[in-house]
Amino acid sequence: MMHRMFSVVIVVATIFFVCAPVFIAWAPYESTMGLVQKIFYFHVPSWAAMFVAAFVCGIASAVFLFRGRLISDRIAVASAELVVVFGLIGLVSGPLWARKAWGVWWQWDARLTMALVLWMIFIAYLLLREYGGPGSEKLAAGVALFGMANVPFVYWSVNVWRTVHPTTNVVPTLVPGMRGPLWWSLVGFLLLYVLAMMARVRLETQRAALEQIYRELDD
């Protein structure tokens, strides 16, 4: 079952990623930014994938904490690692665009700061799991839950403090030619997330099974 689903997702994701460059190339040029604006099709989907991953990690952590299901812990750790990966893509593509659009590499703006803080919380989560010793999964689940609750607070406080980044209501006002490729890339990135998460959860499950076999051998 898992195998068949994995193969289907891999095929669909490949189609999305092969076609995406063509659609992005076809999309019209933005009037003031020109070619640089094409980072958009890469930048926005990577952040969207990161937020979905963070959300999944928070929910899975809560389930693990209160129900103790091992599978949800595996989903949580897989998602947390993907938060860091997608966040890194966003953090690299963002400044490249910002340098052209705003003239600076970084702005202490609500969205940027919130994304950075969220990214750091998930790095802290992985550090805790890596160096916290036995039993750190539960503690990490608590951290993920707190990290999720933190997002609106960071957003609100930095928003009051300062904002330059375009808001999400930019999307409906886009030229129709730009909207298609954006949604296409968005779905592509989300599929990539699902794919990577499935592979990572499977790895973790197999690792646990191996551990179990070793333990039985010792007994």
Determine, following the binding rule CB under 8 A, whether residue 26 of this chain makes contact with another protein: no
Contact 41, 19 (CB under 8 A): no
How far apart CA 214 and CA 91 sit, in angstroms, is: 41
How far apart CA 105 and CA 138 sit, in angstroms, is: 37
Determine, following the binding rule CB under 8 A, whether residue 100 of this chain makes contact with another protein: no
Determine, following the binding rule CB under 8 A, whether residue 106 of this chain makes contact with another protein: no
Residues 28, 31, 35, 40, Cα dihedral to 10°: -80
Contact 86, 123 (CB under 8 A): no
From residue 52 to residue 91, the character string flagging contacts with another protein as x (rule: CB under 8 A) and all else as - is -------------xx-------------------------
Determine, following the binding rule CB under 8 A, whether residue 179 of this chain makes contact with another protein: no
Minimum Å distance from CB 166 to another protein?
22
Stretch that binds another protein, among 17-25, 118-126, 179-187, 196-204 (CB under 8 A): 118-126
Tell me which DSSP letter residue 108 carries.
-
From residue 139 to residue 178, the character string flagging contacts with another protein as x (rule: CB under 8 A) and all else as - is x-xxx-xxx-xx--xx-xxx-xx-----------------
Residue 36 or 124 having the CB closest to another protein: 124
Dmax (CA) for the chain in angstroms is 70
Count of all residues that appear for the chain in the document: 219
> Which residue of 135, 169, 173, 218 would you call a contact of another protein, by CB under 8 A?
135
Strand partners, 30: 34
Determine, following the binding rule CB under 8 A, whether residue 124 of this chain makes contact with another protein: yes
Amino acid at residue number 20:
A
Return the structure tokens found at 96. 């490249």
Which residues of the chain form contacts with another protein (CB under 8 A)? 65-66, 117, 120-121, 124, 127-128, 131-133, 135-136, 138-139, 141-143, 145-147, 149-150, 153-154, 156-158, 160-161
